[in-house]
A and B are shown apart, each in its own frame.
Chain A
Amino acid sequence: GNSVTQMEGPVTLSEEAFLTINCTYTATGYPSLFWYVQYPGEGLQLLLKATKADDKGSNKGFEATYRKETTSFHLEKGSVQVSDSAVYFCAPRDDYKLSFGAGTTVTVRA
Chain B
Amino acid sequence: EDQVTQSPEALRLQEGESSSLNCSYTVSGLRGLFWYRQDPGKGPEFLFTLYSAGEEKEKERLKATLTKKESFLHITAPKPEDSATYLCAVQANSGYALNFGKGTSLLVTP
A binds B: no
* Residue positions of B touching A, CB distance < 8 A: none
Task: Give the interface of A toward B (CB within 8 A).
Answer: none
